[in-house]
Amino acid sequence: MMGLVIGTLFGVGILTCATALRNPSRPPSPPRWMRAVHANRRQIALTTIAGCLGGIIAYALIRNAFLALCVAATSGLLPRILTQTRARKARAERAAAWPDALDDMVSALRAGLGIGEALSSLGSRGPSALRPAFAQFGEQIQATGNLEHSLDGLKERLGDPVADRVVEAMRLASALGGYDLANVLQALARNLRAENRDRGELIARQSWAVNGARVAAVAPWVVLALLASRPGTVEAFANPTGTAILVGGFLTTVVAYALMVRLGRLPEEPRVLAGRAE
């Protein structure tokens, strides 16, 4: 009897191990919102801190909970706005650096260097705004020897329309021959210089209007913050009518400033050739 029980348990154990090896259990994947929170945890933390600080400062100055909530919600957007501003500035620096980079490519190609060598050389002597991406391209092509995958990686790292055009021109030249590649890159450099010059003139003409709108949006609230040091001002806005005036004025200021920024922003060239090569 004991032998039967031991044999049965031994057989059940072997069957369980075999089933586990055939169908290994995988931990359930977290939901999509949890993955998004984990990927953007730094941005969420900065948003929370900025919103809390803005709300506390507004309540300390105005002593109005509704306006403090509005300020907290707006302050929470500041980290995202700063990130987008930094990204636009980086794109503008890369756009200004591309003509010089294209001239360096043309010089390298006419000196007899191959496509991979010409692009890799920009990692050491190219414009500073583009140098890290080309340095990583040089490391990747040196490690793998695969020009196609290295060009895809370069396109993803740079992430702008000019890089897409340059990478696809290099890809076609590598596959079909590049007799006119230097002339194509030189013409592209001339067009980019003219485009950057026209864009700079538009931004210079537009800057006075943008700065004036910023001053007009901020000035009333600076005056209100200064007047809030007097007890009578805080008491005047403590009733429902004063709260409605403050909240309405704040929302109007935010909406008007957002519309000004949105309508006054120059359009950016779309990435038509952003897809990876198949």
Residue 68 in any domain: the answer is no
CA distance 57 to 217: 19
259 φ/ψ angles, rounded to the nearest 5 degrees: -65, -40
Q: Which of 9-23, 228-242, 262-276 has the highest mean pLDDT?
A: 228-242
Q: With 60 as the cut, is the pLDDT of residue 80 above it?
A: yes
Taking the alpha carbons at both ends of the chain, their separation in whole angstroms is 66
128 versus 229: the higher-pLDDT residue is 128
Q: 8 vs 213, which has greater pLDDT?
A: 213
Helices (H), 159-180: 161-176
**C-alpha atoms less than 13 angstroms from C-alpha of 29 in its C-beta half-sphere:** 5
pLDDT of 278 = 47
Whose CA is closest to 274, among 143, 118, 161, 131?
A: 161
In a domain, 86, yes or no: no
At 161 the pLDDT is 82
Q: Are 170 and 119 in contact (CB under 8 A)?
A: yes
Report the distance separating Cα 182 and Cα 160, nearest Å. Answer: 21
In a domain, 16, yes or no: no
**What's the domain count of the chain?**
1
Q: Name the H helices within the chain.
A: 2-22, 32-39, 41-62, 65-75, 78-110, 115-125, 131-144, 147-158, 161-176, 181-227, 231-236, 240-264
Point out the least confidently predicted range of 20-29, 80-89, 181-190.
20-29
Tell me what the mean pLDDT of segment 132-146 comes to.
84
Q: Region 259-276: what's the mean pLDDT?
A: 72
Q: What would you report as the CA-atom Rg of the chain, rounded to the nearest whole angstrom?
A: 30
* Mean pLDDT for all residues in the chain: 77
Q: When comparing pLDDT for 233 and 276, which is higher?
A: 233
Q: Is residue 81 part of a domain?
A: no
- pLDDT higher at 147 or 7: 147
* Token digits of residue 222: 């600076």
Question: Can you tell me whether residue 79 is helix, strand or coil?
Answer: helix
271 lies in a domain? no
Whether 230 maps to a domain, the answer reads no
Min mean pLDDT across 74-83, 118-127, 173-182 is at 173-182
Q: Would 49 be classed as within a structural domain?
A: no
The reported pLDDT for the residue numbered 21 is 56
How many residues are listed for the chain in this entry? 278
pLDDT at 12: 55
Residue 165 lies in domain: 97-194
Least confident stretch, 146-160, 219-233, 261-275: 261-275
| pLDDT, average across residues 224-250 | 77
Residue 145 φ/ψ region, left for φ over 0, alpha for ψ in the -120 to 50 degree band, beta for the rest:
left
pLDDT-based confidence at 276, cuts 50/70/90?
A: low
Confidence of residue 95 (pLDDT cuts 50, 70, 90): confident
Q: Give the pLDDT confidence score for residue 225 in this predicted structure.
A: 75
Question: Is residue 30 over pLDDT 70?
Answer: no
User: Which whole number is the average pLDDT over 217-238?
Assistant: 76
Is 135 domain-assigned? yes
